[in-house]
Structures are given as structure tokens and as C-alpha cells.
Amino acid sequence: MINVLKQVQKIKSSPTLNTVLMVEDTLKKIGKSVVTIAKLKRKLPKQVNHNTLIVVLEYLEKSNKIAVSLKGITWIHNTNAKLRKAVLEGLEL
């Protein structure tokens, strides 16, 4: 059983924290609202393995920092405190 778990872990690339932060920072700074994976790879300061990049993008999507559509990837995370307060205190229709 342990050997099977080790094999599964080897198949899926595990990104480092530096890689995750690099991808996040690049997505935040891209001026366009939608970017493809190929364009994102070209914009990254360092080369990232495709499978590792996919794992990072899956994480960012699950944590509601990006939205992935057929056209590409969009950064949606907003840290504006006033916006959060407005959403929390807003009226329901």
C-alpha cells in the first residue's frame, strides 16, 4: 500500500511555495483580463513544468483566486476591505 502511495505522489508534480507565489504574482500583474496557459507560461519569470503549473492553477481556482473558462484564466481575488464589508452588510433581494 505504501508503494502505491509513493507512485501516485511521483506522478503528480508538487509545486513549491515559491512557484505558487510566482504564478500568483504574475497573474495579478498581467494587464489583460483573460490569459491563456501558453501566454501565462511566457510571462512567468522562470520556466515551470506544465504539470506543476496545472496543479498550481487548480489550487488557485479552489481557493477562489482565479476563474478558469474556455477563453482562459482571470484573476478574481479582491483584497479591498471596503468591498468585503459592503458584501457582508449588503441587502438581500
Q: Which domains does the chain have, with CATH numbers?
A: 13-89 (1.10.10)
Instruction: Evaluate whether 43 touches 30 at the Cβ level (below 8 Å).
Output: yes
What confidence score (pLDDT) does residue 90 get? 74
Contact call for residues 1 and 15 (beta carbons, < 8 A): no
The pLDDT of residue 92 is: 63
Per-residue pLDDT reduced to its tens digit, 45-93: 999 999 999 999 999 999 999 999 999 999 988 777 787 777 778 766 6
Tell me: the pLDDT tens digits for 33-43? Answer: 899 999 999 99
